[in-house]
Amino acid sequence: MAKRDYSLLGPDGQRAVETGLAAAEWYHTEVPRKEMKALMQRSDQPAIRDTILLYGAMILLCGAGIALWPSWWSAPFWLAYGVLYGSASDSRWHECGHGTAFKTPWMNNAVYEIASFMIMRNSATWRWSHARHHTDTYIVGRDPEIAVMRPPAFAKLVLGFFGLPDAASYLPRMLYNAFIGLTPEEKTYVPQSEWPKVVRVARISTAIYAAVIALSLWMHSLLPLMVIGLPRLYGAWHHVMTGLLQHGGLADNVIDHRLNSRTVYMNPVSRFIYWNMNYHVEHHMFPMVPYHALPRLHEAIRHDLPAPCPSIPAAVAEMWPALKRQLAYEDYFLKRDLPATARPYREDFHAAALGHPLPAAE
């Protein structure tokens, strides 16, 4: 490829549409209909349990942080609170946005709105952004949620662990949405009927942040911002880490999720924070399977997938050299071996559409 243009209004996106790469039919592993129906069964119980644990822990940690403020003894409580606020909210936004976390729709919608605010995303805009992400996963010029572009911007990746690029992008866009409307790129994937909702959500968020900042100024204290706003920065590191592992160093412009997504085995705490999204190949193949059924889905289709990374450190060790190599060679990606029981990667469309074979790891 020539240098990639990630703009949703640029030539790469237009090329993807013209070649049929956009909105293409993706490869998926065959699963018996009866088994898939059982896997897709929704239930309120697991998500109610996890939501009570999450918000209960947040209330206790925040209460301890407030009680010990401004002593340094409050720091561990704020750090833990921050991870739940600034990272667990990402997975809750994600799953409830799919409408699969709870069986009851209003529960999904309630947690989705709360989590969207906490993770600094316009709930109306990002619902459609994520739909596009699943339709055109890591298709350059089509997917608005590509976390690692080529060549990788390492300074931005590092700052991301402190939530700074996201906040710097969100806050001006929040004000733009609140007082002007949708950006030209947002208009390419948000239906016009939803535009008033985007503006309404942005205005509500603007009012909340304005009230919190005003309270901080009145109190001459950062304490209100430690509860609302700043945790999105100091607690972002976990969701950024897991987010980079989803697709980092893997293929773009392909229509086989085994080539562009990564499954990673994780410890129970990270799995709770991440809500089982570490089973990421599985999730992209079958996005309507609830988070609590993803381990069972993994067992059902693992014969057709690359071997999962055995841990977070192992996944980082796999991804990092690939990202460094992409600095010099943008077309490079890590192509992971398939087991003998798997069907071959779907590569023909990619080669035909772009005019050259897939580059692979050496």
Three-class SS of 94-147:
HHHHHCCCCCCHHHHHHHHHHHHHHCCCCHHHHHHHHHHHHHCCCCCCCCCCCC
Give residue 261's pLDDT band: very low, low, confident or very high (50, 70, 90).
Answer: very high
Q: Name the pTM for this structure.
A: 0.92
Q: What is the pLDDT of residues 296-306, one digit of tens each?
A: 999 999 999 99
Instruction: Indicate whether 175 belongs to any domain.
Output: no
Instruction: Indicate whether 306 belongs to any domain.
Output: yes
Instruction: Indicate whether 359 belongs to any domain.
Output: no
Domain limits for position 278:
11-151+231-354
Instruction: Indicate whether 124 belongs to any domain.
Output: yes
Instruction: Indicate whether 48 belongs to any domain.
Output: yes
Evaluate if residue 359 carries a pLDDT over 60.
no
Instruction: Indicate whether 184 belongs to any domain.
Output: no
Instruction: Indicate whether 202 belongs to any domain.
Output: no
Mean pLDDT of 77-94: 98
Q: What is the pLDDT of residues 47-73, one digit of tens each?
A: 999 999 999 999 999 999 999 999 999
Q: What is the pLDDT of residues 162-195, one digit of tens each?
A: 999 999 999 999 999 999 999 999 999 999 999 9
* Confidence at residue 270, expressed as pLDDT on a 0 to 100 scale: 98
Instruction: Indicate whether 37 belongs to any domain.
Output: yes
Give residue 349's pLDDT band: very low, low, confident or very high (50, 70, 90).
Answer: low
Q: CA distances (Å), 58 to each of 53, 54, 66, 85, 119, in order?
A: 8, 6, 12, 8, 15
Evaluate if residue 85 carries a pLDDT over 80.
yes
Give residue 346's pLDDT band: very low, low, confident or very high (50, 70, 90).
Answer: confident
Number of domains, the chain: 1
Angle (nearest 5°) at CA 164 between 280 and 78: 85
How high does pLDDT run on average in the chain?
Answer: 94
Q: Which long-range contacts (CB under 8 A, 24 or more apart) does 336-339 make?
A: 336/250, 336/258, 336/306, 336/307, 337/306, 337/307, 338/258, 338/304, 338/305, 338/306, 339/303, 339/304, 339/305, 339/306, 339/307
Mean pLDDT of 108-113: 98
* Confidence at residue 351, expressed as pLDDT on a 0 to 100 scale: 57
